[in-house]
Structure 1
Amino acid sequence: MPTYTYGCDNSHRFDEVHTMSSVPDASACPDCGGPARRRPAAPHLSAAGSSTYGLIDAATKSAHEPQVVSSLPGTPRRPGAGVTRNPLHAKLPRH
């Protein structure tokens, strides 16, 4: 949700978080209790790319709406596919 900046006549500034559909033009100042009007503020620009946002959105969605699957993902294993030819894997401990 977006953050909005408010300022009162006593030069107090504060931020509030509202949905874009319900943002008020004025709010009560938490310091003095007086009326505070919404002020223009610079947008929050992130250095993260769109792939980062996609990953964050997917993680958030899966936390609340986990995907239901009927089988394991991927292709079935072929016989002998578990053997690796990478020489570095030969140094790993065996079970």
Structure 2
Amino acid sequence: MPNYRFRCQSGCEFDALFAMADVPRETECRSCDSTATRLVSAPHLSGAGSSAYGLIDRATQSAHEPQVVTGLPTSSSGPPKRQPVTRNPLHARLPRP
């Protein structure tokens, strides 16, 4: 349901949810019980696709509920690959990690 903004004569502003078919032009103010009229505002649309929303949701969730690693990742490509061995004598002078 869309979110509509209303303002009363006293200057109180509030948001209210109404179905698009049932939205009134005026409603009762939640603060002072006077008549509040619906404001004209820009729609809250986004050009982002669903993949962008998914990324935002996962980033927000990982900030509050990070996944805990309980084991080493499994390799589906077989045994780990070995680093190539060089036979160049100049490489022996390079620092080792």
C-alpha deviation, 1:47, in angstroms: 4.1
Matched residue, 2:77: 89
Q: Give the TM-score taking structure 1 as reference length.
A: 0.52
Counterpart of 1:14 in structure 2 is 14
Secondary structure of the corresponding residue to residue 38 of structure 2: strand
Structure 1 segments, 4+ long, off by >4 Å, are none
Aligned match of 1:70: none
Deviations 1:43-70 (A, max 9, x none): 1022422xx19xx9xxxxxxxxxxxxxx
Alpha-carbon distance between aligned partners in 1 of 2:12 and 2:36, rounded to the nearest angstrom? 9
Task: Spell out the pairing of 1:19-34 with structure 2 (5 A cutoff).
Answer: 19-34=19-34
1:7-27 CA-to-partner distances (Å, cap 9, x unmatched) read: 000001111111111101111
Give 1:39 deviation, angstroms.
0.8
Alignment of 1:1-95 (within 5 A): 1-49=1-49, 52=50, 89-91=77-79
The residue type equivalent to 1:90 in the other structure is G
Identity of aligned residues (%): 34
- Structure whose alpha-carbon radius of gyration is higher: 2
- Residue type of the alignment partner of 1:43: P
The TM-score normalised by the length of structure 2 is 0.51
Partner of 2:68: none
Q: What root-mean-square deviation, in Å, do the aligned CA atoms of Structure 1 and Structure 2 show?
A: 2.6
In the alignment, structure 2 segments of 5+ residues that lack a partner are 55-74, 81-97
